Amino acid sequence: MKIGIVGAGMVGSAAAFSCVMRGAASRIVLVDLDKARARAEAEDIAHAVPFAHAVQVDAGDYADLAGAGVVILACGVSQKPGETRLQLLDRNAEVFRSVVGEVMAVCPDAILLVASNPVDIMGQITQRLSGLPPERVIGSGTILDTARFRWLLGRHLGIAPRSVHGYVLGEHGDSEVLAWSSARAGSASVASFAAQVGNAITEDVRQTIDYGVRHAAYTIIEGKGATWYGIGAGLARIVSAITSDEQAVLTVSSVSDVLGVHDVACSVPRVVGAQGVNAELLPDLSDKETEALRASAELLKTTVEQVSL
C-alpha cells in the first residue's frame, strides 16, 4: 500500500524509516513545505532499503499523495520545553486548517493518521475538518505511553516488554490513566507475577513507573528538544495494522463515546484493520481508574469545544 507523510521533520522521517524497516508499505511519499528537507530525508531513508524491505521512498507535493491508503499527519509546530501538549492546540489547529483540505482534495478515501500534538484534540479537529467517519481518522493516542508502561514494567519484572500486557488510557498527556488493575505479565496479573519472581510491585514501584510514563516526554524534550524514535515506531505499528488488515488491538485515539462522555477523542484499546477502527474495548478497571478515565475524557471534551473551526 502507498502511504503519505505530511511533515518531514523528526517525527515524520522517523515514521517513514520505521515503515521501511517493518515493510509496512510499498511506497512512501514525504511532503513538506521545506522541499529540500523532504528530498533529503527521502533519499537518506531510501538508502536503508537494501538492508530492509523493497519500499519506494520519494519526496513530493500534495498531488503525489493521490492513491495513498494512509496519510500520516506529522506536521505542525513542535512542543517547547515546559509546554504542555494542550498548550500546543491553538498553534497547531491553524496549521491543520490548510493541510487537511489539501490532503482530502487528492486522496479523499485515505485513512488519516494524526501524530501532531495535542494528538487527541488534533485528531478530533481533523475528523471535523475532513468530514470522514470517525473510524477513518486515527490519532496515535497513547500507543507510545502504553509502550513506555510495558517497557518499564518489563524492566522491573525482568521480562520482555512484549510479554507485558497493560494499557495507558485517556489523554496522551498529563491526565492519562495507567490501567494497573488489568495489567498482565504473560497470563498472570502483574502483582501475581511480580510476587512469583520476587520483584514485588510496591507503592514506590508504582509511583516510579507512573512518573516514568507520565514525564517521559518532558525528560526527553529537556535533553534533546523533541521525541521521535518511539512515536515513529508507534506510527509504523499502526500503519502495519492497517496495510495488513491485522485487526490488532492498539491504544489509539478516535472520536466516540467514552464512559458517558459523548463525541470525544481519547484512547482506549481499539481494533485496527484495513477499514480503520473496527471496534473498541474497555479493560477491567478499578473504580478509581474508571473515574480518572472519565475525568480525562471530560477534560479533552471541554478543551475541544473551545476550538472554533
Amino acid at 142: T
Residue 260 region by backbone torsions, left for phi larger than 0, else alpha for psi between -120 and 50, else beta: left
Catalytic residues: 172
User: What grid cell was written down for 235?
Assistant: 506510527
Q: Up-side HSE of residue 99: CA atoms within 13 Å toward CB?
A: 28
Q: Which of 222, 223, 302, 207 is nearest to 263 (CA)?
A: 302
Residue 89: Cβ within 10 Å count: 19
Residue 148: Cβ within 10 Å count: 20
User: What grid cell was written down for 63?
Assistant: 498531488
Residue 110: Cβ within 10 Å count: 23
Start-to-end Cα distance in the chain: 32
User: What grid cell was written down for 15?
Assistant: 515514521
What pairs with residue 248 in β-bridges? 272
DSSP H helical ranges for 215-281? 216-224, 229-243
